[in-house]
Structure 1
Amino acid sequence: MTQPVSIPSLHIDVRSAQLEDVKPLLALEEKAFTGDRLSRRSFRRAITSLGSVLLVAVGTEGLLGYALLHLRQGTHLARLYSLAVAPEARGLGVAKTLIQACEKQAIKKGKNLLRLEVSDVNLNALSLYRKMGYQEFGHYDAYYEDQTDAIRMQKVLRYSADEQISRPLSWLAQGTPFTCGPASLQMALSALHPEYQATPNDELEIWREATTIFMTSGHGGCHPMGLALAAQKRGLSAEVWLSEEGPLFVDSVRNALKKEVIARVHSRFAEQCESSSLPVHYSVMPLEQLISAFDSGALAIILISTFRMDGKKSPHWVVMSGYNENCILVHDPDYEAKDDTQNPLDCQYVPIARSEFEKMSRFGQSRLQATLVLQT
């Protein structure tokens, strides 16, 4: 739908981009940027993808600018990936109009947090974002092709939330499809023990120590007690909260031998926790208690189901990295650089609505909930 906006001496229409816009978009990209340019394929993907919104600002003289918005599935996060204004249209309100249109689109898509990156030397853009209510929350050295730094900014949409509470937490991508638990533990170790060096070898070693050996298919996943024991071995104090006492991850296992092995591994982990005085609470950790532990300096590794994020019913470990009045923030180690719609920054401080988080943190037919609370 076209959104007409009147500005003195200039009329702007903002609409969704069409495939016939690709050629003028490429010409604008060439004029607007000296590096980090989007390709023809990127523009075509943005126009056809359900996970992106590409808006164009059009005047009587043609294309004035565009804004590309990426939507993080299963979360309330939107990201302003790219914004460009034709040199001849700068200073006429095109950028502000596009940003306002992006905010409306983000809200329409159910998102309530909009993030962006901007070069620290782009003073005009920084000034505009600040005037529009965006706040700085991160800085990245040599982020762009020309080696300039990036400032991360964000704005809460629709509601006025309390101040975000978060923890400086280094992010790590899991090195394999089955090591989300070890990568999450390495993030916690790096934050709580700054001298700890996260290495690919230790990631695999943690997996070897913590794995259930079997899953319904593929490689074994990490058992919460196994991860807690690995954390304790590396100098952290650990507690486990489990919603059930029996062997985990056996709901969909049909093979009798697999069931038996999973049960034996579970029993052995339980014995090791008892002998090492590692507390295991067979109950659900209330969200408010989780937040209280975070406020006291602890970090939590939480088992979630990824169904709301990628449509797959897989157990997955993430690290709680903050919260606000409406959301829980997590560091997600699952990152795969498939195309330019994905960025490691999108895996950090991912906002998940509290109501959604409580649904996501239940896995399988038994609605298993598992949380590890770690501290020094």
Structure 2
Amino acid sequence: MASQPEVRVRRARREDAEAIIALEQLFPGDRMSDRAIRRLLGVPSAAAWVALRQRWTCGALVMTTRRGSTIARIYSLVVHPEARGHGLGIRLVHAAQTEARKRGCRTMSLEVRADNQAARALYERLGYHLHACLPDYYEDGETGLRLRRTF
């Protein structure tokens, strides 16, 4: 069995925008717009990370915070299907949680599709719990689930 090339996780930079945009296209709907991605990569209230296998960006996470709030939000997490199953989602979430704590946040919040069993299982393994059910949350009418984890 051939070993996989090492994957490293680092803070995203403005020049990572195109790769993050390409990853966002993997979502069936409710994607971040190109404009939103470019904006979030340049504002202090957001932070993003990319997972790189050699020069291929195979995962990304965008987190937002608000001044005066102790709740950070995972705005988007995506791992390319060919890179799944190697713990990249966990590594990206851990990077975001570490930064959220540095910013004084005590809780991480996110929304996930009720029908996204893989993502829900990932977040459950990481200690996230149901905070609210959001009927008709997604553009196709799918229910959203707001999950939270306190540090």
- What TM bracket, shorter-length normalisation? over 0.9
Instruction: Tell me whether 1:112 sits opposite 2:138 in the alignment.
Output: no
Task: Tell me what 1:102 maps to.
Answer: 96
User: Superposed, which structure 2 residues align to 1:50-129 within 5 Å?
Assistant: 50-129=44-123
Q: Per-residue CA shift, 1:212-268, capped at 9, x if unaligned?
A: xxxxxxxxxxxxxxxxxxxxxxxxxxxxxxxxxxxxxxxxxxxxxxxxxxxxxxxxx
Residue of structure 2 in register with 1:19 after alignment? 14
* Aligned match for 2:42, one of 23, 42, 48: 48
With the length of structure 2 as denominator, give the TM-score of the two structures: 0.93
Mapped contact 1:17–1:54 kept (Cα < 8 A)? yes
Aligned equivalents of 2:100 and 2:5: distance in 1? 26
Alignment of 1:152 onto 2:146:
yes
Per-residue deviation, residues 86-120 of structure 1 (Å, max 9, x unmatched): 12111121111111111111011111110011111
The one-letter amino acid of 2:51's match is A
- Secondary structure of the equivalent of 2:100? helix
Partner SS, residue 67 of structure 2: coil
Asked if structure 1 preserves the Cα contact closer than 8 Å seen for 2:70 and 2:104, the reply is yes
Aligned pairs (5 A) from 1:1-376? 9-30=4-25, 32-157=26-151
Give 3-state SS (helix, strand or coil) of 2:6's partner: strand
One-letter identity of the residue aligned with 1:27: A
Separation in 1, partners of 2:69, 2:24: 30
Using the TM superposition, name which of 136-145 and 14-23 deviates more: 14-23
Runs of 4+ in structure 1 off by over 6 angstroms are none
For normalisation by structure 1, the TM-score amounts to: 0.38
The amino acid across from 2:18 in the alignment is K
Structure with greater Cα Rg: 1
Structure 2 residue runs without a partner (length 5+): none
**2-side partners of 1:104 and 1:126: how far apart?**
21
What's the secondary structure of 2:72's corresponding residue?
A: strand
1:133 alignment partner AA:
G
Gap runs ≥5 in structure 1: 1-7, 158-376
Amino acid at match of 2:99: Q
Q: Quick one: which amino acid aligns to residue 130 of structure 2? A: E
RMSD (Å), alpha carbons: 1.3
- Contact persistence 1:134–1:155 (CA under 8 A): yes
Find the aligned partners of 1:137 and 1:27 in 2 and give their Cα distance. Answer: 30
* 1:61 Cα offset (Å): 4.9
SS at 1:48 equivalent: coil
Question: SS of the counterpart of 1:138?
Answer: strand
User: C-alpha separation between the residues in 2 aligned to 1:113 and 1:47?
Assistant: 22
Q: For residue 9 of structure 1, report the CA deviation from its aligned partner.
A: 2.9
Which has a greater percent of helix? 1
Q: Partner amino acid for 2:92?
A: L
Residue type at the aligned position of 2:36: S
Which letter maps to 2:68?
A: G
Deviation digits for residues 174-227 of structure 1 (CA, Å, limit 9, x no counterpart): xxxxxxxxxxxxxxxxxxxxxxxxxxxxxxxxxxxxxxxxxxxxxxxxxxxxxx
Q: Report the residue type matching 2:75 in the other structure.
A: Y
